[in-house]
Amino acid sequence: MKVTDAKFVQGFIRMANDGWEQGWHERNGGNLTYRIKKEEIEEIRENLRTDGEWKAIGTSVPNLGGEYFLVTGSGKYFRNIILDPEETLAIVELDAAGENYRICWGLKNGGKPTSELPSHLMNHEVKMIASGGKHRVIYHAHPANVIALTFVLPLEDKVFTRELWEMATECPIVFPDGIGVVPWMVPGGRDIAVATSELMKQYNVAVWAHHGLFCSGEDFDLTFGLMHTVEKSAEILVKVYSMTGGKKRQTIQPDEFRDLAKDFKVTLPEKFLD
């Protein structure tokens, strides 16, 4: 099968374009990676190159040895993915040790996988283990309202979690584990990858202060939906701050969150409710 005809590639392109249309991907901002299923690789194997040069990932992900990923290219624009996926995306294979990668498809005019490859792969490893293999999508975007809040709220997991839960009743159901916050760090390197993956052991969402948002999920719908829900909630909070300076006349109370958790069968950590 042609790579671009595969259902997972179509799903990836649609999600990337949806992110562009939301305004989360100015210029070359953001990146998306998908851990490809064994049977999906078999469908397209005849069109994968095996002569790519092995290159260092820049970190070590031993539990992902031998896995294949569909990834956005470094410096590529989300806006262009739908027009030319073979120029803007790549499929990469990891070696058995999880220390090197090689390009098997895509980036037809040259280029490298996303500059955030170390962060994506370390988070894939953590989330694959934490979810028993279910999580396959890691998504980083630059949604404006989440970023704006990182100049106003204290950079604490509890504050971001509680404030965003309060802004929309669905939030504690969509991200019951809460949200982690990474202080400002240089993007693209191993340090931000380590800091983010530490938080992603307990969360599916991490804020990068003054930069953007990082999400993990099982499939494209769930991961896009998570990014969308968090950013919508941040937009409401920005409106509340803009109208009142942050003073709420009323809001959802801790016991109301507990009632919601019971009915919707989610567990909300008490540390976010006291």
Of 30, 85, 143, 172, which lies in the binding site for ligand 2HA, with binding defined by CB under 6 A?
30
**Residues numbered 177-206 forming contacts with ligand 2HA, rule: CB under 6 A:** 187
How far is the CA of 74 from the CAs of 65, 71, 77, 214, 257, in angstroms?
Answer: 22, 9, 9, 17, 41
The kind and range of the H/E element at 102 are strand 100-106
**Total site size for ligand 2HA, rule CB under 6 A:** 8
Segment near ligand 2HA (CB under 6 A); pick from 13-21, 26-34, 128-136, 262-270: 26-34
| Residue closer to ligand 2HA, measured from CB, 33 or 260 | 33
**Closest-CB residue for ligand 2HA?**
187
Sites for Zn ion among residues 194-233 (CB under 5 A) = 212
Q: How far apart are the first and last CA of the chain?
A: 54
Q: How many residues bind Zn ion (CB under 5 A)?
A: 1
Q: What are phi and psi of 128, to 5 degrees?
A: -60, -45
**Tokens describing residue 239:** 């409106």
- The tokens for 181 are 């916050």
Pairing type for strands 137-141 and 89-94 reads unpaired
Instruction: Looking at residues 120 to 179 of the shown chain, list those that interact with ligand 2HA (rule: CB under 6 A).
Output: 140
Q: What is the CA 273 to chain-centroid distance, rounded?
A: 26
Least Å from the CB of residue 144 to ligand 2HA: 14
Please list the active-site residues: 116
The C-alpha angle with vertex 90 and arms to 12 and 43, in degrees rounded to 5, equals 70
Q: Which stretches of the chain bind ligand 2HA, using CB under 6 A?
A: 28-31, 115-116, 140, 187
Q: Which stretches of the chain bind Zn ion, using CB under 5 A?
A: 212
